[in-house]
Amino acid sequence: MLEFGYSHWRKLDNAALVFPAVTGKNDTRVFRVYCRLKEMVEPEILQRALDATMEKYPLYQAVLRKGLFWYYLERRDIRPLVKPETDPPCSDLYVPDKKSLLFQVTYYKDRIQFEVFHALTDGTGAMHFIQELVKQYLMLAHPEAHLPDFDTGEESTGKEQEEDSFAQYYQTELPKNKEKKRAAVQLKGEKLPQDEMHIMEVILSVKETLKTARANGVTITVLLASALLWAIHEEIPASRLKRPVTLMVPVNLRNYFDSKSMANFFGWIEVGYVFKENTTFDEVMAHVKKEFERELMKERIAVHMNDYVRLEKNPLIRAVPLEVKRFGMMAGAKYGARSITGIYSNVGIFKLPEEYGDYIRYFGFLASTYSMQLCSCSYKDNLVLGFTSKVPGDSIQRNFLKILKEKGLSYEEVESDFPGYKKEKTNVSAKVFQTFTFLCVAAAIVSAMANYMISGNFTWCWAAGAASLSAWLLVSVAYRKRRNILKNAMWQLLLVTVLGILWDAFTGWHKWSLNFLFPVACLTVLCSMPAVAKIQKLEMAEYLFYLIQACAVGCIPLVLTAFHIVTAPYLSVVCSGISILILLGMFIFQRKNMLREFHKKFRM
């Protein structure tokens, strides 16, 4: 354990397990919570505030890593640095093979922004973090104001902050939920590219909205959810409205189960309505109110939560390797999305002492989405709604605002000002790789043309084609694994060996691939790993398991020699001898670290 009771590493909580697997071009699974001040942000002060905030929440100083069976979070001594906003909202934060923090703090004009990958925390955890960050910033920026200190969350230990509350409240005796979900209406049409979302934000008065909601006998959440259902249905052709329009509504489980966890601890309910030609908005509100009352009972919440955890604890699923699990999780997420049209997330109320109101305009919340999402949060009398959508246009949003206006609610539309959408997009490395791919294909085709024109047949062009393919495979792997040099080295070792054996086999099998190429490739990787670790200043946990893998592969030439498969054994003996010495050295001098790595990688 580290200081303050925080772990060196921890497994992902139940809700977070699926996020790394399903993150992709359609949804980055990143959300942004921000604070808009009444003054311009000073970067140096913001950095000091972030440093102070990390002292309270060091559990977020972690990177995501892969084990054989599950992903896990590992503590890293990486100092988070504030930076100006340059990318579109909710851009990628989790990039496979890139060992970077799963959050970032950015600023733009009068905005302080905290963006986080959902596997790290949920909306409640993000609220606590940015409240602490804003508190620290304003106390540093205005020492003369003597702003009161306050606790942005309950007092908690490191163990309590890291707790997987899903596992804590799992009850084996609870029955399974046997209700079948009905396929919902989907928003059709062309979707925006990965790094683009249509964003609209509006501000309502909390007092006015609450008054309107009460006048209709509902809560603000029910009012807004009903309005979103209605707004979506108005854009759906009547022929497709035989299915329900359904919203996923995340639920903060801390409201039902005592938990101080700063990891994910949320569930969700699904609220839908089958619209008819004569349906009224009041009927929709009445139905949504009834559904909320039914679904938000603690007993039903507990059953749903148990279902999530039961899958994770299934021994057969636990024994399936992660790379296979990923396909199952992606298929499950795709199947689950069939019952959802959009998402509405009410993050909650930001509460700071009255004195801070002299410096804060409002807080806002945005989330990446594969379809349509509405997020809401409030501070003082400002209720901020953030629409994010992959659907071009703003018809649904306009329908939503029209309903609010008909209900007597006024609103202020926030001007969109995101510098990441203004900069020109360039991806030099992708262009270079595409050019190389074209050249490899061209080389193979030109070789075939030359072979036929010179000799009237295709006798030697296959060799040129195979050489082009081999070069493309090596460069392709190097490009795709470029963010992790050590993993790249292991893939290159495997690829070089396989390609060498194939070339050897198709050119007469002289065994040069096993006598020379394989042991030399192993020695090259073994020698390069310590150098890479030193140059990149890697922590032991970042390179130890790769070194163990390289040593294990380096012992294979000795096995081939013992079975007389290798005919020139000298390089094989040297390679295996060095590999065994390194393994013994690690076991003698770094046994605890070795065992910890095996425990992390092979935890089921």
Domain boundaries, the chain: 3-145+181-421, 428-602
3-state SS track over 87-119? CCCCCCCCCCCCCCCCEEEEEECCEEEEEEECC
Residues 402 and 398: their CA atoms lie apart, in Å, by 6
**CATH number of the domain at 3-145+181-421, out of 3.40.50.150, 3.40.50.300, 3.30.559.30, 3.20.20.370?**
3.30.559.30
Give pLDDT tens digits for 373-426.
999 999 999 999 999 999 888 999 999 999 999 999 999 999 999 998 877 667
| Residues 466, 516 contacting (CB under 8 angstroms) | no
- pLDDT averaged per 10 residues in sequence order, the chain, 604 residues: 71 94 86 98 98 96 95 94 96 90 97 98 97 98 94 83 94 84 89 84 98 97 98 92 95 96 96 94 97 96 92 92 92 91 96 96 96 97 97 93 96 93 78 95 95 90 94 95 94 97 95 97 96 92 94 97 95 97 96 93 88
Provide the β-strand partners of residue 271: 247
- Strands 103-108 vs 111-117: parallel, antiparallel or unpaired: antiparallel
The CB-side HSE value for 535 (13 A sphere, CA atoms) comes to 7
Q: What φ, ψ does residue 40 adopt, rounded to 5°?
A: -75, 145
The CB-side HSE value for 300 (13 A sphere, CA atoms) comes to 13
Provide the β-strand partners of residue 31: 116, 367
Secondary element (H or E) of residue 31: strand 30-37
Q: Residue type for 215, please?
A: A
- Strands 103-108 vs 83-84: parallel, antiparallel or unpaired: parallel
Secondary element (H or E) of residue 246: strand 245-252
| Residues 17, 70 contacting (CB under 8 angstroms) | yes
Q: Residue 551: which of 525, 579, 575, 574 has the closest Cα? A: 579
Give pLDDT tens digits for 175-188.
888 788 899 999 98
- Given this model, what pLDDT does residue 348 score? 94
Residues 548 and 418: their CA atoms lie apart, in Å, by 46
- Given this model, what pLDDT does residue 1 score? 39
- Given this model, what pLDDT does residue 288 score? 98
- Given this model, what pLDDT does residue 4 score? 55
Give me 223's structure tokens: 């009012």
Residues 11 and 18: their CA atoms lie apart, in Å, by 13
Residues 393 and 443: their CA atoms lie apart, in Å, by 45
DSSP letters for 155-206: ---HHHHH--HHHHT--TTSPP--PPPPP-----SPPPPTT--EEEEEEEEH
| Residues 232, 398 contacting (CB under 8 angstroms) | no
Q: CA torsion 234→238→242→248, rounded to 10°? A: -20
- Given this model, what pLDDT does residue 29 score? 95
- Given this model, what pLDDT does residue 117 score? 97
